[in-house]
Amino acid sequence: MHLRLGSKAVARGVTAVLIACSLASCGREGRAVTVSWSITPTPPMVGGETLVGLRLHDAEGKPVSRARLQLEAHMSHPGMTPVTADVIEQSAGAYEARVRLPMAGDWRFVVAGTLADGSRITHDTPVPGVRAAATPGGS
C-alpha cells in the first residue's frame, strides 16, 4: 500500500523532523555541540541542487567556528553509494553544503568532521520524501 501526500504535507512533515533533530546535541569529551539543519528546497528534488545549511552552537549558545566538516547523503535503498559534499563555513558557526541527489525516496544526511579543538563530531538527520524530477508535459 502506498500513501501519496501532497507536497505541502510532505514539506510540513520534513520540517517537523528537522526541528526535532535539530534539538539533539552531539560531541565528545564534555563538549556539547548543538547542530541545527535547514534544507532547501523541502523536500529536495532529484537532480536539482539541494542547499544544506548547518548551524553549530556550544552549550552556552555561542557559534562553533573553524570546524572541518563533510556531508554524506545516504539512501535508504541498500547498495546505493553515498553522495558527498564539502561543507563550507559561511560565517561564525554557519556552514553550507550543496548536494545533488540521484534518486527519489528516503535519505539520511550525515555531517561528520573535526572541531577546532580537535574533538570529533557526527550528527545526522532523516530526509524523507525526496521527489522525482518533474517531466516536461507530465503532471
The residue ranges of every structural domain in the chain are: 7-130
For the structural domain made of 7-130, what CATH number should be given? 2.60.40.1930
Instruction: Give the pLDDT of residue 16.
Output: 41
For residue 72, the cross-strand partners are 84, 110
Instruction: Give the contacts of 65 (CB within 8 A, at least 6 positions apart).
Output: 89, 92, 93, 116
**Element of type H or E holding 22:** helix 7-22
Does 46 have pLDDT greater than 70?
Answer: yes
Average pLDDT over residues 88-116: 96
Q: What is the value of pTM for the model shown?
A: 0.74
DSSP single-letter state for residue 103: S
